[in-house]
Copies of this chain bind each other. A is one copy, B any other.
Amino acid sequence: MIGTESLTDLYVEVQHFYARQMHLLDGGAFEEYAATFTEDGEFTHTPQQPPARTRAGIVAELNRFHQRFADDPVVRRHWFNMLKLDPLDDGAIAATYYALVVTTRPGRNVTIAPSCVVHDVLVREHGALLTRSRKVDHDLVP
């Protein structure tokens, strides 16, 4: 594992880390969200696009992406589930899980899409989990 903790401890720590991370993102705290990545972290939220790199780059990309909601105000919630953890040779952890985006628009109309599989690499720095890379694959019928 990442250090000497048990798999149980790590699995729960990752669940809690993701909860805090996504409450930040969904609350619009983009700098705090970016700070949950390593300084050289990579974030690919849309397939076929190059990743945003570094915390500053992730913040810039989030600001750019959220411009689409300037004239379409929404509340978004990211739900993660069915989390798998696999150790990597370099001591990092591969985390693979399902994700859904729950979007509420005025009038409380709720849509749930897209359905995604997310591939993270997690590391520990100074005792804290950080995301080194995140790649989001949208479910697409072949």
Interface residues of A (CB under 8 A from B): 6-9, 11-13, 15-16, 18-20, 22-23, 73-75, 77-85, 96-98, 100, 102, 104-106, 108-110, 112-115, 117, 138-142
Contacts and interface: CB of A to CB of B under 8 A. Distances in A.
Closest 10 CB pairs of A and B: A104-B139, A110-B113, A75-B139, A19-B82, A8-B12, A106-B141, A73-B141, A102-B115, A19-B84, A11-B12
How many copies of this chain? Answer: 3
Given A77-B115, A114-B108, A22 B141 contact: no
Nearest to A5: B8
Contacts of A74: 141
Contacts of A12: 7-8, 11-12
A80 B79 CA distance: 10
A119 to B, nearest CB: 12
Contact of A8 (B9, B23, B112, B117): B9
